[in-house]
Amino acid sequence: MAMVEKVTRVDDAYARLKQEILLNRMPAGALAPEPEIAERLAMSRTPVREALIKLEAEGRVELVPRRGARVLSVSEEDMSEIYSILTALEPEAAADLARRGGDADALAPLDAATNAMEQALVDDDLDAWAAADDQFHRMLLALHGNRRMTAMAGQLYDQAHRARMVTLRLRAKPERSTQDHRAMLERLRAGDPDGVRAATELLSVIETLRLPQL
């Protein structure tokens, strides 16, 4: 029981710290001592330490002896590499999904994410838009069903999301991107592999043009 409780505390610390980093509440370059981080989370130092070790292994933080943890940045080169991989994976995954037929129930999460993106633009809520966009892409690969691809892409989405949150407000509202997500969804519903591949590739071009210049 004690071991289970410890694992749960570590997982909780890891999830909360990861969220702080993804939302840039702990921005790139920030350096904080472990006791300060533990106090911030209202947790003991042991699970926080283990969570930081896990985050270091993922390349999110650097543990600096006697100084604490520094949040690592995502460079322009990193983003270019990330998008190169995602733009190779997503069009083929979407086309394969379309070949299976556009089952309404299966596509409902993508429809909900697209609706949320459209509503976020109406509400001028870019945080909500970014969350819905992230959900759309993660769900697309989850529906495809390749667990290894989904897990690998999930880490890339995490890194891309963090960098995009920095620059989202510096660019035009993502209206074209939202329209392209809707076009992707309609091609999926129609069971049109070529059409959804083209729509996904077009969205990839738009997203690449929005890459942050870090």
- In this structure, the answer to whether residues 94 and 31 fall within a common structural domain is no
Which residue carries 């989904």 as its tokens?
150
Q: How confident is the model at residue 86 (pLDDT cuts 50, 70, 90)?
A: confident
Residue that is last in its domain, among 43, 71, 99: 71
Residues 6 or more apart in contact with residue 14 via CB below 8 angstroms: 50, 51, 54, 55
- In this structure, the answer to whether residues 63 and 102 fall within a common structural domain is no
203 or 200, greater pLDDT: 200
- In this structure, the answer to whether residues 61 and 84 fall within a common structural domain is no
Mean pLDDT, residues 45-61:
91
By residue count, the chain amounts to: 214
Residue that is last in its domain, among 71, 98, 114: 71
User: Could you report the per-residue pLDDT of 1-50, keeping only the tens digit for each?
Assistant: 444 455 688 999 999 998 888 877 888 888 999 999 999 999 999 999 99
Residue that is last in its domain, among 71, 89, 109: 71
- In this structure, the answer to whether residues 54 and 152 fall within a common structural domain is no
What's the domain count of the chain? 2
- In this structure, the answer to whether residues 63 and 149 fall within a common structural domain is no
What single-letter amino acid sits at 139?
M
Mean pLDDT of the chain: 85
Range of the domain at 18: 2-71
What local confidence, expressed as pLDDT, does residue 188 receive? 93
Q: How confident is the model at residue 205 (pLDDT cuts 50, 70, 90)?
A: low
- In this structure, the answer to whether residues 146 and 178 fall within a common structural domain is yes
- In this structure, the answer to whether residues 103 and 172 fall within a common structural domain is yes
Distance CA 20, CA 198 (A): 35
Cβ–Cβ contacts within 10 Å for residue 162, how many?
22
- In this structure, the answer to whether residues 14 and 41 fall within a common structural domain is yes
Mean pLDDT, residues 55-84:
86
* pTM, entire model: 0.73
- In this structure, the answer to whether residues 108 and 199 fall within a common structural domain is yes
- In this structure, the answer to whether residues 24 and 92 fall within a common structural domain is no
206 or 80, greater pLDDT: 80
- In this structure, the answer to whether residues 113 and 96 fall within a common structural domain is yes
User: Does any domain span residue 44?
Assistant: yes
CATH number for position 18: 1.10.10.10
